[in-house]
Each structure stands twice: as C-alpha cells, then as structure tokens.
C-alpha cells in the first residue's frame, strides 16, 4: 500500500496536468555556464490565463531535482487544483531546476559545499557556491526579467536538495519561503544543522517553513547521524519562541520511505501554503506613489477603491472615490504601503467591479516598479 499511494498521486498529477495544460503553459530554457561541464535545462510553468491577466504579478516556486520531471509536474498540478475550493486560487509560476547526473558530475556537486569537518570519500561535492550563484544570477534574474513576478519566492527541495535550500537561507536568504522534505542535517558533522539553527529568525522578514522527515533511521539503513541531527533541529526550533511572522512547521511521515513521502508531503502542505499566500504582509512602513485606472463603460455613478490600509479605507466598501476622467475610465493616485491589496466597488460589496485582466482575488501591487495599473472591467 505504501508504494501504491505515490503511484496514485502521480497518476492524479498526470491527469490534472493533461487537463490544466489547456490553459497552463510549460516552457524549457537551456542555460550554459562556465561553472558546469554541461548545459542545464530549467522548466517554467505559467499559471492558467497568465497572458490574459496581464495586470497581475505572480509568486515564483523553485523546485529542485526537476531532472525527475514528476517533482516539477506534481508541484504545479497540486497548486493548480488543490487549493481552497471556496477561494480563488493563488496563481504561481513554477520553475523546475534540474541537476544532471553524469560520470563526472552528480546532483551532490550542486548541493554540497566543500566540507569543513570531515573528509569525503567521494568526488561528488564542492560546486555549491557556483550553483547558488547560478540560481541567483542566471535563473532568478532570467525569470524576473521575462515574467511578471511579485518578487516573492518559495523553494522546494528534497533530501540534499532540502539541505541546500535551508543552507541558502542561512547563508544569504536566497528565497522567502521553504519546503524542505527529508533534509540531511547531519552532513559534515552536523554543519547543516548548526547553520540552520544559527539563522536569526528574530530579525527576519516574515517566512513560511515546512520541514519533514520520513522513515530515515539506522533501522532502515540510513547513516547514524541522520535522525539525531533532525531531532536536534526539530526540538530546538519547537521549543523556541519565534516572532508571530515566522510560520514554521515540522511533520514526520514514519509510514513513508525517503522517496515515497514526496507526493504526500506536497499534497499536505501546498494547499495550506496557497491559503497563506492569500494574505500578504507589509514589508516596511514606506509609502510609494501608485496610479490606478479602471476602465468600466457600464458603470453608473461613483466608483470606489478599498483595501488593506487606511489610505484605501481599510476594506470599507464605501471606500475612496475615484475620479472619472472620461466616459468609461476612472483613476486615482495614492501613496500606499506595499504590498497593497484592493478591490473596486460602487459603494457596497454586492456591487463590486471585477477586472477581466487580473486574477480573481484581491488586486495587488507588490513593487514600485509595477505601481501603475490599468484594469478593464469584465
């Protein structure tokens, strides 16, 4: 039965993916870097109706070990189909990053730094800093330059891929949120555990973290340091008093093996993560100028904007009146904290005006660079 469950999940994802590809789009981009002895592929899935909703910026999910395409496909399929059915789903761009395995190179070369406490018997390690640089300077720069991104990121890693993303948090805060499945904290005489526990969560911006372990133990053939390192991290973090803005969860899956737990973990956490990203949080107190227009030929009378801060009426549907600039267009200039969330009404929630060129959730402005919006009503 344990082996049947992930097979069923994979079949489900295949069916979902086949259906979703009616409107979702998957592209492949090949990168050449002098730091690697091969060209590396990444895969990019844009959410349904991405081109139509051109006034919306989208979070990016980075999925490691996507040379196993099921890791990539499961992620975007679950995000597309398994969020809260009573809410408009949060759209995500999903980027799959592959780590090819050849006689001269292995995924471990990407994920493992040069050791400081032990001597490895393998040649497969040590390109960790170059891999981080590749993600930061090549992949993330390309995605942000060629797609409408919100600036918010989630990383998903498994095994040493999970160790990599948590080390990337501790060393340079490479991503915003983290899903780390079966991380090896015992590597290099607990160096990975020490790095993670040394991160300053008390002075961090808001973060979401989900960490899991399956049946990895000495009894199931894993190195002796694997489980104690996990237990150390789990017990230390669960006993710590962290800021309310840090959402960190630990969950164990003893009924699953190292590999079979992957699908179940994503099924458990990705819908929860989608709900978490329904509501943005201010990143600072600075206010930025924004210009918002609404094209609505059928509107009669006044149009209001209301949203998540006093400058836009704190979600009072009789919000801030917009200026009518011609027969069909309303506009307003404001100074807002970002991310700003808002809606348009004609004075009551039952008289909302829903744009047809943005995703059907709270409208959002994430960055001063995208603070001019022109919405067209349905």
Q: What is the domain-level CATH number for residue 249?
A: 3.40.50.1820
Nearest of 284, 198, 207 to residue 244 by alpha carbon: 207
Nearest of 272, 159, 261 to residue 208 by alpha carbon: 272
- Same domain, yes or no, for 32 and 120? yes
Q: How confident is the model at residue 22 (pLDDT cuts 50, 70, 90)?
A: low
Whether the per-residue pLDDT at 239 is higher than 50: the answer is yes
- Same domain, yes or no, for 246 and 335? no
Domains in the chain, number: 2
Mean pLDDT, residues 268-288: 89
Give me the percent of the chain exceeding a pLDDT of 90. 83
- Same domain, yes or no, for 368 and 235? no
Token representation of residue 3: 């082996």
pLDDT of amino acid 280: 77
How many angstroms separate the CA atoms of 43 and 310, rounded?
41
- Same domain, yes or no, for 39 and 82? yes
- Same domain, yes or no, for 75 and 159? yes
Nearest of 337, 340, 303 to residue 320 by alpha carbon: 303
- Same domain, yes or no, for 208 and 163? yes
CB atoms within 10 A of CB 275: 12
pLDDT tens, position by position, 127-136 = 999 999 999 9
Q: How confident is the model at residue 119 (pLDDT cuts 50, 70, 90)?
A: confident
- Same domain, yes or no, for 135 and 165? yes
Q: Residue 136, Cα to own-chain centre: how many angstroms?
A: 15
Whether the per-residue pLDDT at 16 is higher than 80: the answer is no
- Same domain, yes or no, for 70 and 209? yes
Q: Which of 255, 276, 297 is the last residue of a domain?
A: 276
Residue span of the structural domain in which 240 resides:
4-276
Q: What is the domain-level CATH number for residue 348?
A: 2.60.40.10
Whether the per-residue pLDDT at 228 is higher than 90: the answer is yes
- Same domain, yes or no, for 257 and 344? no
Q: Is residue 281 part of a domain?
A: no
Q: Would you give the DSSP letter of residue 136?
A: I
Q: Which of 254, 276, 298 is the last residue of a domain?
A: 276
pLDDT tens, position by position, 347-371 = 999 999 999 999 998 999 999 999 9
Q: With 0.85 as the threshold, say if the pTM is over it.
A: yes
CB atoms within 10 A of CB 334: 20
Q: Is residue 259 part of a domain?
A: yes
- Same domain, yes or no, for 172 and 309? no
- Same domain, yes or no, for 261 and 318? no
């Amino acid at each position: 039965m344990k082996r049947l469950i992930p097979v069923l999940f994979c079949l489900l994802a295949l069916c979902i993916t086949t259906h979703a590809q009616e409107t979702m789009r998957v592209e492949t981009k090949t990168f050449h870097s002098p730091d690697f002895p091969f060209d590396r592929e990444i895969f990019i899935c844009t959410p349904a109706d991405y081109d139509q909703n051109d006034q919306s910026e989208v979070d990016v999910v980075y999925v490691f070990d996507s040379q196993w395409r099921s890791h990539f496909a499961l992620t975007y399929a679950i995000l597309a189909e398994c969020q809260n059915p009573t809410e408009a789903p949060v759209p995500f761009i999903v980027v799959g990053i592959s780590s090819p395995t050849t006689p001269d190179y292995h995924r471990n070369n990407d994920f493992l730094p040069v050791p400081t406490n032990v001597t490895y018997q393998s040649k497969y390690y040590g390109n960790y800093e170059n891999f981080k640089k590749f993600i930061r300077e090549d992949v993330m720069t390309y995605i942000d330059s060629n797609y409408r991104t919100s600036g918010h990121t989630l990383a998903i890693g498994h095994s040493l891929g999970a160790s990599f993303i948590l080390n990337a948090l501790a060393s340079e805060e490479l991503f915003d949120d983290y899903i780390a499945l079966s991380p090896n904290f015992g590597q290099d005489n607990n160096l990975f555990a020490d790095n993670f526990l040394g991160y300053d969560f008390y002075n961090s911006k808001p973060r979401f973290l989900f960490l899991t372990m399956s049946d990895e133990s000495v009894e199931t053939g894993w190195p002796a340091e694997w489980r104690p390192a996990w237990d150390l991290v789990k017990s230390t973090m669960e006993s710590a008093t962290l800021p309310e803005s840090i959402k960190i969860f630990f969950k164990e899956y003893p009924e699953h093996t190292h590999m079979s737990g992957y699908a179940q973990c994503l099924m458990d956490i990705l819908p929860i993560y989608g709900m978490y990203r329904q509501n943005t949080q201010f990143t600072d107190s600075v206010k930025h100028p924004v210009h918002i227009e609404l094209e609505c030929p059928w509107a009669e009378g006044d149009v209001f904007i209301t949203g998540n801060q006093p400058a836009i009426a704190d979600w009072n549907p009789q919000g801030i009146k917009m200026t009518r600039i011609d027969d069909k267009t309303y506009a307003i200039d404001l100074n807002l904290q970002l991310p700003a969330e808002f809606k348009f009404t004609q004075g009551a929630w039952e008289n909302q005006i829903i744009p047809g060129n943005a995703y059907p959730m709270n409208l959002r402005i994430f960055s001063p660079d995208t603070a001019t919006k022109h919405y067209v009503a349905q």
